[in-house]
A and B are shown apart, each in its own frame.
Chain A
């Protein structure tokens, strides 16, 4: 019975996948309607997964608090914050809290965004550490090239007249090798995406068999 259900699920997944693919690629009027309907179903499913996410967050961290596991204090703060925000949102939607701007918006903009901005400031130090680590762990030609290019890029960004040639070199690096390398990587990822997608669509993915 389990095997039969697995085969059925696989057939449905492949059937819907191929139908949507044909609908999107051919843009045929007969296929367009069902294709759009399937894509709307995906949006609804994505909305449902947010509930799964909140449930996951509360069970994982609630469990850690109950067990007094390592870092349970952080988990406790996380659970309380989550429940508090959910409660505030419900009260706002019910019209009990009518502050303008909304309290949840204030919390998001004044707490969340401020903390994230300070973390963004820390990124520079993490990146410098990364450059140091590259040289310490792998003193290779590519590692040295990476550091030289990094230094040229940083020096080229300085607003000093004496460094005009470095700025020109920086611009050339950005326009030619960096752009070419970036496109190469993106093209590689795009090709791999096409191939992996086809493999999944024709039922060769492991998840169909297990």
Chain B
């Protein structure tokens, strides 16, 4: 199948599933129950503990920013940070967001501002709670600055979800040395491996994008999650069928005939 046609098919399918799913879930709240993700279950108590300790929550998206390949990841992170900041906004100490990509700065400012506004505490919002640290050639300068920042700001908990490489190990090690809680995930494989090994509760792969569905109760976020699962199952079926077709000539012939019929030929 032509790649462009496949892209359009996936986009249309995703669009239809989200639209229909949102309407179904609005009518029947429990139509699609979601499995438990321990990291999201631990997140709110973690923020509560930070408020009680009167210490800040640190959130970082690493090098995820707008305008590039990580645009959607940055938007998904913004939703996660919004939920965390919304919980932390009732405390006396402001949570803060760090980023190594300047394009994420406006998004981070807006996320924190909206979180405080939703709690009716906009007067407590401080623009210096969003901090940019330059990444350096391999993001190690950013990691080094964060290791210092964790101690200087007496951080209680860290939510490091975004785009990190192996330099995440330095930040996670600094957090562990200071006995700070850590939830981490990355869209980069090296960063994800480090996050799995070193965080208290790891998030893996696409779970980064599910924050809205787990931490909120809006139908559209849950519909997106259901669509994600639907596409994943379709992909699994596609992979299994193509594997079978590669080893079995009968399956290959059957699929060829089926695709030919669908395309209107033969």
Contacts and interface: CB of A to CB of B under 8 A. Distances in A.
B11 interface: yes
Given A56-B132, A195-B18, A205-B75, 5 more contacts: A25-B11, A116-B138, A119-B140, A205-B79, A207-B114
A196 B75 contact: yes
Interface in A151-187: 182, 184-187
Contacts of A5: none
Interface stretch (B28-36, B41-49, B164-172, B246-254): B164-172
Interface in B103-146: 103, 105-106, 110, 114, 117-118, 127-128, 130-134, 136-138, 140-141, 143-144
A56 B11 contact: no
A37 interface: no
B160 interface: no
B18 to A, nearest CB: 6
Contact of A134 (B22, B73, B197): B197
Interface of A: 21, 25-27, 42-43, 45-46, 49-50, 52-53, 56-57, 59-60, 63, 70-71, 74, 112-113, 115-116, 119-120, 122-123, 125-127, 129-131, 133-134, 137, 146, 182, 184-189, 191-200, 202, 204-207, 210
Where chain B touches its partner, the secondary structure class is helix
Nearest to A64: B128
Contacts of A119: 140, 143-144, 167, 170
A206 B115 CA distance: 11
B22 A204 contact: yes
Interface in B54-76: 66-67, 72-73, 75-76
Contacts of B93: none
Contacts of A74: 148, 152
Contact of A131 (B106, B110, B197, B206): B197
Interface string B139-161: 01101100011011110000000
B198 interface: yes
A188 B205 CA distance: 6
Contact of A207 (B14, B110, B134, B149): B110
Interface in B1-38: 4, 7-8, 10-11, 14-15, 18-19, 22
A199 B131 contact: no
A198 B15 contact: yes
A53 B66 CA distance: 14
Given A49-B102, A185-B192, A195 B176 contact: no
B90 interface: no
Contact of B141 (A25, A112, A123): A112
A120 B220 CA distance: 42
> Size band of the B side of the interface?
35 or more
A146 B194 CA distance: 11
A105 to B, nearest CB: 13
A87 B79 CA distance: 38
B89 interface: no
Contacts of B197: 127, 130-131, 133-134, 146
Contacts of B212: 206
Contact of B105 (A49, A63, A115): A49
Contacts of B19: 202
Given A126-B172, A193-B209, A207-B114, A199 B220 contact: yes
Contacts of B66: 46
A71 B220 contact: no
B65 to A, nearest CB: 8
B143 A207 contact: no
Given A70-B152, A126-B172, A210-B114, A198 B140 contact: no
B235 interface: yes
A120 B190 CA distance: 14
Contacts of A200: 72, 75
Contacts of B18: 195, 198-199, 202, 204
A50 B102 contact: yes
Contacts of B132: 53, 56-57
A210 B205 contact: no
Interface string B199-234: 010001110111010000010110010011001100
